[in-house]
Amino acid sequence: MSLLNARIGGSCRHVTDEGTRIHVILEGTRRHNQISHSIYGLGKLIILEATSKHITIGGTSKHVTLEGTSKPVTLVGTIRHATCKGASTRKRVTLEGTSKHVTLEGTSKRVTLEDTSKCVTLEGASKRVTLEGTRKRVILEGTSKRVTLEDASKCVTLEGASKRVTLGGASREIITHY
């Protein structure tokens, strides 16, 4: 398992390696929480299907942590796409370039995307986030609104339904739509 290093708190229940495509299945106590991690060469893809509340993907060694009945998983490699399907919410996060960190937290719907020297934090009802290349673009599904900001700091924050934005870093485009 060169591309995948699965670390499941307690014991590893089921890990399947299918060459370039890798799947990790975790079994919960009362219900089966299936988490599928697919890695495709340069266009890495991770799909998590469970009642996950906390997902972290960061650094060269990617980390995926699921709180509650779920177990921690460590992935080694570069992850470009991550899709999280929860019980009542569905999030899709697309990372392109040298993104380093992603955090999804349950009902708070918080997403943190870190590039080499850049950080984006989304809080509230945001559903989708996209970062592309050097120019960062953030797309949120919420109230119909479009914001484009350019600054020198390195943080973006969107909170609640009011969609308050604090942006910095390189030139970024923020689009919120419902």
**Mean pLDDT, residues 149-165:** 36
- Whole-number average pLDDT of the chain: 35
pLDDT attached to residue 62: 39
**Structural domain spans, the chain:** 1-87, 97-178
pLDDT in tens, 10-65: 333 333 333 223 333 333 323 333 334 333 322 233 333 333 333 333 333 334 43
The Cα-based distances of 11 to 6, 72, 157, 169 in angstroms read 10, 11, 37, 41
- Is the Cβ–Cβ distance between 3 and 77 less than 8 Å? yes
pLDDT attached to residue 59: 33
pLDDT in tens, 76-126: 333 333 333 333 333 333 333 333 333 333 333 334 343 333 334 443 333
- Is the Cβ–Cβ distance between 93 and 82 less than 8 Å? yes
pLDDT above 70 covers what percent of the chain?
0
pLDDT attached to residue 160: 36
Q: Specify burial of residue 109 (Cβ count, 10 A radius: 0-12, 13-18, 19+).
A: middle
pLDDT attached to residue 53: 32
